[in-house]
Homo-oligomer: A and B are copies of this chain.
């Protein structure tokens, strides 16, 4: 096990009806800005629950944080926040709304242009942030990370701020999610685990098993959710899995990869493709490309998640990768670049961008532009 520091102070309030605890979580004297995406929270009852819970409190609404939150939108919120002396943020939405609000939390107390913060990669000076999660997927509700886009230049980068002080997770709010968002959330959760698990062998028995626990839970619930996405128990497991996949709990003392995510971010930046969908395409290609390097871990994963125990190692590895791709297909997602109409031009542009940034992802920092090119060729 590698040395590590773990810290996660987010208070999680989980379950049906928990939104009504909002008022106890935000000090009475705070000037609140509530941030939203589109209007879905107005049709699924979340907007009503949130505003009822905060009745009589001093709050401003900010609407329109888009999927892959854009710096231009966030700057508008930051300007309003400065003007109104906002000192508490409440993000109501999925990963994009929460990610965007993390940048707002750093941008309000910052004097300069908020894009400078994104380029810098992090800010420790923030105003407090709570969340009401509506889409299980990114884990942003219980970590300090965000991903911010700039459409003008087709850029998309990670950014680190502070942990939400609280996050409210009520599984019933997921009952009205479109099938595609559920599929992308399941894929995103699966690949979050993989980025922290599909690396070096035997770094930690316990962390391996905790990662495998989330993977097995996802494989178990995914087909059942397809049958009934209003099953409280199943959607609770989904919501929990998504949060636990990226809150540091499975990352203690083990190596991390993140090459698939970084390639996926480029597909989103260049083509506007939904994040979870990019991962379903890229991750099987990553495994195919790095199968020799990740050999022992793929064998362990194949055995423990997919029951692949017989045959020579090369055949077991091939079967395991096939089963992984089939899982994403079973969710209803594309798993090849060709299905999305993406060709060699994009592959070359991503390789170029990786080289330009001096990219060195993967658990050994060896996924450069050239390796990204090979991965993407294996996604065709």
Binding site for B on A (CB under 8 A): 1-9, 11-18, 202, 204-206, 209-210, 212-214, 216-217, 220-221, 233, 236-237, 240-241, 244, 249, 252-253
Min CB distance A185 to B, Å, is 15
Q: Which of B5, B15, B204, B221 touches A236 (beta carbons < 8 Å)? A: B204
In the complex, the count of this chain's copies comes to: 2
Asked if residues A237 and B3 are in contact (CB atoms below 8 Å), the reply is no
Measured between beta carbons, the chain B residues less than 8 angstroms from A249 are 249
Q: Which residues of B contact A216 (CB under 8 A)?
A: 209
Q: How far is the CB of A296 from chain B (nearest CB, A)?
A: 16
User: Which single member of B5, B6, B15 contacts A253 (CB below 8 Å)?
Assistant: B15
Q: When chains A and B are docked, how far (Å) is the Cα of A23 from the Cα of B3? A: 18
Q: What residues of B have a CB within 8 angstroms of the CB of A17 in the complex?
A: 3
* Min distance, Cβ A165 to any Cβ of chain B, angstroms: 10
CB distance from A221 to the nearest CB of B (A): 7
Q: Given the known A-B contacts A209-B213, A236-B204, are A13 and B5 also in contact in the complex, defined by CB atoms under 8 Å?
A: yes
- Chain B residues with CB under 8 A of A237: 1, 204-206
Closest 5 CB pairs of A and B: A3-B15, A209-B213, A9-B9, A6-B12, A1-B236
Which residue of the partner chain, among B9, B217, B253, contacts A14 with CB atoms under 8 Å? B253
Supply 13 A–B pairs (Cβ within 8 Å), ascending by A: A3-B14, A3-B16, A4-B15, A5-B11, A5-B13, A5-B14, A9-B9, A12-B252, A15-B253, A205-B220, A209-B209, A209-B216, A210-B213
